[in-house]
Amino acid sequence: MQLIKIQTLEGTLELLSGLRIGASEGEIRIGGVDNQVIRNPINNEPYIPGSSLKGKVRSLLEWRSGAVKSVPLGIRDMDPRYPGVRPILQLFGVGGGDQLSDQQAQDLGPTRLAFWDAALQKEWARQMDADNLMLTEIKTENRIDRIKGVAEHPRQTERVPAGSRFDFRLSIKVLDIDGDGRSLRATVLDGLRLLELDSLGGSGSRGYGKVKFRDLKLDGVDIQAEFDALAPFATAAA
């Protein structure tokens, strides 16, 4: 088994609606926001963790495969009835509890996919600062009593607003057992299209976390038109 190349997919991740990926609170502030977004501790700007992107894309691909379970798929879930499981395990890896035989390890190979944290685009952050605008917004929500028709339990949620742009990047290892790597690349792109169709972060059912990938390039070559034309469910059925 030999590593042939490492390909880089990069572009812009634009928010079409407010995004909330939460951070743990070290202290409780009286009158503060209930749910804050995760921020870079150095510049205090919001960012999208690579782990959030990787976890959501994997989850969507597992749902599409038909073999989804309450825990991430593993080596025991490889089944001729679910051909989509194999590329998921090749790209995202297997769990630490999976004990692979030498043959299984040779067959799957190491994890191919690595997501980078997505930082706010510098140009976007500078423009927001020049316009004297905040990088986040506070959205107040509540629950409506069905009988009385009054609002109860108000809470404040911090979101990164629609229109914000982040630098998106991931890398894909291509091994000699992968041929030209096109099949695994196709699975990655399908996963990103599924993310566009679904949502990222919390409260997706309430309209949060709608995203769009723009200016996608694979090793510097523009693939945006190819990506926009993808129909991930047609691919799964083929």
- Classify 144 as helix, strand or coil: strand
In the prediction, which pLDDT does 193 show? 96
Give the full edge-to-edge strand order of the sheet including 221-222: 113-115, 165-175, 3-15, 211-218, 221-222
CA angle 25, 30, 31 (to 5 degrees): 100
In the prediction, which pLDDT does 167 show? 97
The CA distances from residue 152 to 36, 144, 157, 159, 238, in Å, are: 21, 6, 15, 21, 49
Read out DSSP for 10-61? EEEEEESS-B--B---SS--TT--SBPBPB-TTT--BEE-HHHHHHHHHHHH
Residue 89 amino acid letter: L
Find the farthest-apart pair of alpha carbons in the chain and give their distance in angstroms, rounded. Answer: 67
Contact between 165 and 75 under an 8 Å Cβ cutoff? The reply is: no
Residues with pLDDT less than 70, the chain: 23-34, 96, 140-142, 145, 152-154, 235-238
The one-character DSSP state at 120 is B
Q: What is the count of structural domains for the chain?
A: 1
In the prediction, which pLDDT does 176 show? 87
Q: How many residues does the chain have?
A: 238
Query: Encoding tokens for residue 207?
Result: 């309209």
In the prediction, which pLDDT does 31 show? 47
Whole-angstrom Cα distance, residue 43 to residue 119?
11
Residue 127 structural domain = 3-237
Rounded to two decimals, the pTM is: 0.86
